Each structure stands twice: as C-alpha cells, then as structure tokens.
Amino acid sequence: MTKGILIGIAGGSGSGKTLVARKLVQDLGSDKVIIIEQDSYYKDLSHLTLEERKQQNFDHPDALDEKLLLQHMKMLIDGESIDLPLYDFKIHTRRDETRRIGEHIIIILEGILILHNPRLREMMDIKIFVDTDDDIRLIRRLQRDIKERGREFDDIIHQYEESVRPMHLLYVEPSKRHADIIIPEGGYNLVAIDILKTKIESILRERGE
C-alpha cells in the first residue's frame, strides 16, 4: 500500500492557512485530498463549566490532544481510517459525534501549532508557513469569530491581547524556521500555490499515483 503524503500548513490565526488548503484541494482534485484542522484536536473540556472553559489558553500547545493527533496522522498516512473529533467553538468543547475519514493520497494538516511539534514535523513530506501581517490577521480573526463562532467583539480582543498574540510570538512565529516553503499573503499568492501544486504532483508521480 502506498503511504499517504502529509502536508503541514502552519501560520498565525487569520493568516490564510485554510484558503491555501482549499486552493490545493481545488487544484489537485478533492477525491485525492483531505483537509484536517488542528482545531479538531483541542482537548475535551466537558468536565469544566462554560466560564472555566472560556478562561483556557487555546493558543498554547498544552491545549491540544497531541497524542491523539499524532496517532491519527500516522493512521491516515498508513491508509487507515480515523474517527475525527468535532469541536464546538461556541461552548469550547468536543461534540459527542465524530466524522469518519477514510483513505486519501494527500492529507493536508493545517493549524497554528503544527510545526511546533518535532514528532509531527518528522511525519510531514512538505512543511508550509503562511506569513501574513499582524493587522490583517487580527481583522480576519474578528470577522471569522463574530460571523462563524457567535462571539462578542470585546471577548475576541481580550483573548487576542491575553493569549493569541503572546502565544504567536512564543510558539507560532518561531516555528517558521522549520518550514520548507513560506507563503506571503496566503491563498491570494497564486504563484506560490502553483509552485506548491507542481511539487505535490511531482511527489505523486514518483510514487506512481
């Protein structure tokens, strides 16, 4: 069985990681590619009250169930199926249901901290960092959290000042040095997307796909 290709796409919150991943899916063919979000692997906080959950630092590596993430990435690379956790950002904990993910040739893992973990980096065939200016990332985060996650403006700003920005400087930005490719402007950088697509197609040809 041909092993899957794991592509890691990191970058700060609101950098455009998801857009890069979606562009690759569109260009490469969705039947070959699956996108896995790091956010699905936040630890289950159902044992805490809602107010206690809101106080958690979700931008620190300890917020992630890294053991399960590593296990699932290895399984997907080996062509096995997984039950992907689903996370509810409105109540800050996992849902009861999961999503069954089967075999795919290309696995795209995207998230702010995926290049921080050395064991995860070792699994990756290509490591990407999406580099976007802080002010643009903050605006995108505000728009996303208000529209998609039902959050209040003041809460978003407070979280940004207390944890998002400090953790970005401590963990996310330094992980850029581990990237094979740095993409400025995210999914709007069509030249970089095209180069990346060509590289992935080359790997597929080498593996006879």
Q: Which sequence spans correspond to the domains of the chain?
A: 5-200
Q: Is the CATH number 3.40.50.300 carried by domain 5-200?
A: yes
Average pLDDT, integer, range 83-91 = 90
Beta strands in 65-144 (DSSP E): 82-88, 93-101, 106-110, 126-131
Q: What percent of the chain has pLDDT over 70?
A: 98
| Placement of tokens 């630092």 in the chain | 57
CA pair distance 161, 116, nearest whole angstrom: 21
| Placement of tokens 């095209």 in the chain | 194
Structure tokens, 77: 């690379």
Q: In the Cβ-directed half-sphere of 152, how many Cα atoms lie within 13 Å?
A: 4
- Express each pLDDT in 150-193 by its tens digit: 788 888 898 889 899 999 999 999 999 999 999 987 778 889 89
Better-scored residue on pLDDT, 119 or 91 = 119
- Express each pLDDT in 21-73 by its tens digit: 999 988 888 778 899 999 999 999 989 998 888 888 999 999 999 999 999 99
Amino acid of residue 180? D
Better-scored residue on pLDDT, 119 or 208 = 119
